[in-house]
Amino acid sequence: MTGFGTAAVHGDDGLVPGGAVAPPIVQSATFSAESDERFTEIATEPRGSAFYTRYGNPNHAQVAAVVAGLEGAETGLVTASGMGAISTLALALLSAGDHVVVQRSTYGGTTSLATGLLPRFGVACTQVDQTDTGAFERALRPETRLVLVETPSNPLLELTDLAAVVASAHAAGALVVVDNTFATPVNQRPLSAGADLVWHSGTKFLGGHSDVSAGVVVGPAGLVERVWQTAIVTGSTLGPVDAWLLLRGIRTLPLRVERHNANALALARALERHPAVARVRYPGLPSHPQHALARRQMTGFGGVLGVELTAGRAGAAALLAGLKLAKRAASLGSVSTLVVHPRSMWAGIVDAAQLAAAGIGDGLVRVSTGIEDTADLVDDFLAALDAAPA
Ligand SMILES: *Cc1c(COP(=O)(O)O)cnc(C)c1O
């Protein structure tokens, strides 16, 4: 494989028509064919780019090829959002009577899908503690089809032992599907650990600029084709302009992730020493309970950290109020540092007892570091913390 920088820039060479260096945006919902025979061909070509944009578009093909290259996958497809990716994948690979294993600490939408939507269609679900590798194995049943993994997880930054979970799932005949949104392929390549499919919220680090919603699924052609067969039914179609924007963002992914990693590590180290902070959750810190695992399966530790304030909710509120550079916003993986109090963000969506049970405390602030200069960012946080109650 070429390096990440080269793969990000050249992964779609050969898929861009003409001599354009930047791919043209093919803003067309449909495509003409010269004969009925040709039309029959293009209408049945899996993930073709010459029939109808819900089936495929040149801008989809280019960005899917680049992400597949970065993840070391055979092929991929794109959807209108990360949730479009995982819900389409689940509908494609599951049937009534099947069972899935999902982590207790995982993106809220994934929890809603697994514990709310899928059971209505006769798919059972078991939630497990991802830090307990044996819990995955104990949850497996003969009818388990998918094990849904997210590592590091949102927002607790807990890790899943990919190789161990893959080994037990495969022994039981289940597929392992990994949400690689937090790590990005630059820091972690789940397919190398044996996972079957990887998906992303392209809205986050891949797009990288908080200006596009998108999703990606990559893996072997056979599985991706099954997901595509369902994608043309669910219709979670990424617009050509958004596919172009996603690719535009990915061109600089390896450069950005280097800075995200450096900023998050520097901030984690600085915050961990501050008296207003009870705990910093970041896989790159030796104090992270799974730091050894992080070093084993990640090549960088990502741009997201969790900060738990000693003064609980009041401390979190003071930190958020005192920050000048960081913006209070949902989402992550942006060029700009984004901070959020997860307990408040989810308050209207998930009940307090469930949030507490999931380990999301009142003093927790999620920080997604941007690509600002490290010293400016650290100064911004330390100044805000100095003004916060200890
Ligand atoms: C945001 C996010 C998603 C959902 O992606 P959307 O593009 O918002 O649909 C899934 N997983 C993780 C880890 C996320 O952060």
Q: Give the binding-site residues of ligand 1, using a 6 Å CB cut-off.
A: 81-83, 107, 109, 150, 154, 179, 181-182, 201, 203-204, 213, 215, 332
Atom of ligand 1 nearest to the CA of 213: 7
Distance 83 CA to ligand 1 centre (A): 6
Q: What is the pLDDT of residues 164-187, one digit of tens each?
A: 999 999 999 999 999 999 999 999
Distance from the alpha carbon of residue 12 to the mean position of ligand 1, in angstroms: 25
Cα 213 to ligand 1 centroid, rounded to whole Å: 9
Ligand 1 pocket mutation, candidates 204, 205, 216, criterion most atoms within 8 A of CB: 204
Q: Report yes or no: 140 and 291 within 8 Å, Cβ to Cβ.
A: no
Q: Which residue minimizes the CA distance to atom 1 of ligand 1?
A: 201
Residue nearest to atom 8 of ligand 1 (CA): 82
pLDDT digits (tens, 9 = 90+) for 113-133: 999 999 999 999 999 999 999
Q: Which residue has the higher pLDDT, 19 or 197?
A: 197
Tens of pLDDT along 26-75? 999 999 999 999 999 998 888 899 999 999 999 999 999 999 999 999 99
Q: Which pLDDT score, from 0 to 100, does residue 350 have?
A: 73
- What integer pLDDT is reported at residue 267 of this predicted model? 98
State residue 1's pLDDT score: 63
SS3 category, 127: strand
Give percent helix, percent strand, percent coil of the chain, each to the nearest 5. 45, 15, 40
CA 202: distance to chain centroid?
7
Lowest mean pLDDT segment, chosen from 18-22, 65-69, 144-148: 18-22
Given a cut of 80, is residue 349 above it in pLDDT?
no
Q: Where are any strands of DSSP class E within 261-350?
A: 277-281, 304-309, 327-328, 338-340
**Could you tell me the domains of the chain?**
4-250 (3.40.640.10), 253-386 (3.90.1150.10)
Ligand 1 pocket test target in 149, 201, 238 with most atoms within 8 Å of CB: 201
Query: CA dist 347 to 108, 278, 350, Å?
Result: 12, 23, 6
pLDDT at 390: 66
For the chain, the C-alpha Rg in angstroms (whole number) is 21
pTM exceeds cut of 0.85: yes
Mean pLDDT of 200-228: 98
235: confidence class by pLDDT, cuts 50, 70, 90? very high
Residue with the larger pLDDT of the pair 76 and 43: 76
Which residues are known to be catalytic? 54, 107, 179, 204
Pairing assessment for the beta strands 215-219 and 197-201 based on DSSP bridges: antiparallel
For residue 306, which phi and psi values (nearest 5 degrees)? -115, 130
Kindly give the distance from the C-alpha atom of residue 234 to the centroid of ligand 1, in angstroms, as a whole number.
18
- Cβ 83 vs Cβ 112: under 8 Å: no
